Amino acid sequence: MAVDDNELARAGWDTADEMRVGAWCLVDELHPGTVAFVGSIVEAEGTWVGVTLDAPLGDLVQGPIRYFAFKKGYGMMVHPARVRIVPKPMSQSARAELEREARAAAARRRRLRRRSSRSPPPSSPALKLDSQEAMHDLVEAEKVAKLARRARLRFPIGTRVVVNGTHSGEVCFIGATEFAHGLWFGIHLDEPGEGNCDGSINGVDYFDSEPDTAVFVRKAALVRIASAPLRRTVV
């Protein structure tokens, strides 16, 4: 399974050694993982990169030819242009954010698959490369990640806000979720009992708060308050 150095060069890689098995990488600047395969495949022309992901998202189905080992949902076969080698580990918070956004995209894909399973296709290919559904989720997850980075400039974690013009609170979470599409803000409210959760939804923890003291809202529901954050303790 030869590696096409010219194709790697066109994708921005100096040598095949740089794209080496075992290197830590990002797929589409969003999904962390490890390079597990570099070479040609029988299902498509050119050089391809197999990646084992840190969080389940991949749409790769193991066919008769085993290019690399991976758990269900953790494998992707992508073009080298979509992979960036990261020489140094990311910070724990940045890595956790990427993994959370990857899990959110995977959850949305599972919901779509459940809805479409009522009328499955007559046959499925042994190896799926970049399905439209997977690409849509990747693009959406990347879009939400960019929106979250911009939102944190105006609403840093700890910012005091008013929600829907009535309840004051503190921003504790900004990012993608598994319960709905798009960008969400997690708010710890000042008054207990005014919220509808404790910072977790459907068993997924986004931030810590007391029961019925947290809400998730869109940016349009928030107005920033020019005051220092309140100190709070979660028991």
Per the listing, tokens 């830590």 go with 24
Geometric angle at alpha carbon 34, from 32 and 40, rounded to 5°: 120
For residue 133, the model assigns a pLDDT of 56
Task: Give the separation between CA 155 and CA 172, rounded to whole angstroms.
Answer: 10
Task: Give the separation between CA 22 and CA 12, rounded to whole angstroms.
Answer: 19
For residue 198, the model assigns a pLDDT of 93
Among 151, 148, 161, which Cα is nearest to 188's?
161
For residue 161, the model assigns a pLDDT of 93
Which residue type is seen at 223? V
Task: Give the separation between CA 93 and CA 88, rounded to whole angstroms.
Answer: 15
Provide the CATH number for the domain formed by 160-224 in this structure: 2.30.30.190
For residue 12, the model assigns a pLDDT of 47
Looking at the predicted structure, is the pLDDT value of residue 148 above 50?
yes
Task: Estimate the crossing angle of helix 132-154 against helix 92-116, to 10 degrees.
Answer: 140
CB 27 within 8 A of CB 51: yes
For 111, counting Cβ atoms within 10 Å of its Cβ (0-12 exposed, 13-18 middle, 19+ buried), the class is exposed
Predicted TM-score (pTM) of the model is: 0.45
For residue 11, the model assigns a pLDDT of 46
Domain 5-118+128-149: CATH superfamily is: CAP Gly-rich-like domain (2.30.30.190)
Give me the mean pLDDT over the 205-219 stretch: 92
CB 76 within 8 A of CB 33: yes
16-72: pLDDT as tens digits: 446 788 888 888 777 788 888 888 888 788 888 888 888 887 555 556 677 888 888
HEC string of the chain equals: CCCCHHHHHHCCCCCCCCCCCCCEEEECCCEEEEEEEEEEECCEEEEEEEEEECCCCCCCCCCCCCCCCCCCCCEEEECHHHEEECCCCCCHHHHHHHHHHHHHHHHHHHHHHHHHCCCCCCCCCCCCCCCHHHHHHHHHHHHHHHHHHHHHHHCCCCCEEEECCCEEEEEEEEECCCCCCCCEEEEEECCCCCCCECCEECCEECCCCCCCCEEEECHHHEEECCCCCCCCCCC
Stronger pLDDT, 226 or 235, i.e. the higher one = 226
CB 147 within 8 A of CB 183: yes
Please provide the average confidence, as pLDDT, over all residues in the chain.
Answer: 75
Instruction: Give the count of beta carbons closer than 10 Å to the beta carbon of residue 232.
Output: 14
163-181: pLDDT as tens digits: 988 899 999 999 888 888 8
For residue 139, the model assigns a pLDDT of 65
Domain boundaries along the sequence of the chain: 5-118+128-149, 160-224
